[in-house]
Amino acid sequence: MGETITIKGEDGDFTAYLARPAKTNAPAVVVIQEIFGVNQVMRDICDGLAAEGFLAVCPDLFWRIEPGIDITDQSEAEWKRAFELFNAFDVDAGVKDIASTIDQVRALAEVNGKVGAVGFCLGGLLAFLTAARTDSDASVAYYGVGIESRLAEAEKLADPLLMHIAEEDQFVPKEAQTLILATLKNHPQIQIHTYPGRDHAFARVGGEHYDETDARLAGGRTLAFFQQHLGTGQ
């Protein structure tokens, strides 16, 4: 279903995985990677969104460090590499790349003009910043790491944002969750769902903390959110 395309960014060109829906005049969703690059998990998410009527694109946000990163969460060596990439990553540059991706995708003839974003882990933080800094029409953040240090950005947020928070997230401490909820719960554009008993990456299929029930629940909420704010090509 998918193919590789080139995105023209402010600082250079980079690749992205693109999955097209069966019908044209479809809304688009930018899928924002975890710390493992544009891997099979991200490609499967794109394919799943395409099956629901969205054009889905996952840009390679690690291209400045090393283009084409495609690793898993299944070995200690890959985890070590993933955290090296995370620590070397420039968040602000990544948001600029997402903005470039949104612009390019929105201009495609087969897209209805609406573009959203969904991100996981590192991508959850980037989805939050995408909502605040870009013209994404609707954004979804799954268990974003580090949002608590960026809460002032929410003042700039003008379009809808949906957040999924795992209550036992080892990378988002209870204190951070409390601060996030207290600061954002009354924001007119933000919906927040918390998942009791769930750890980080509960929606990553095949991951250590994957929970099928809550992954489906969060996925259903995300799909309904996008259908409400972006429309659907179905």
Q: Which active-site residues does the annotation give?
A: 169, 200
* Sequence-distant (≥ 6) Cβ neighbours of residue 177 within 8 angstroms: 165, 167, 169, 194
The DSSP secondary structure of 84-153, one letter per residue, reads HHHHH--HHHHHHHHHHHHHHHHTSTTEEEEEEEEEETHHHHHHHHHHHHS--SEEEEES-SSGGGGGGG
* Terminal alpha carbon distance of the chain: 17
Burial 115-153 (b: 16+ CB within 10 A, else e): bbbbbbbbbbbbbbbbbbbbebbbbbbbbbbbbbeebee
**Which DSSP symbol is given to 229?**
H
The Cβ of residue 81 has, within 10 Å, a number of other Cβ atoms equal to: 17
d(CA 53, CA 151): 32
Maximum C-alpha span of the chain: 45
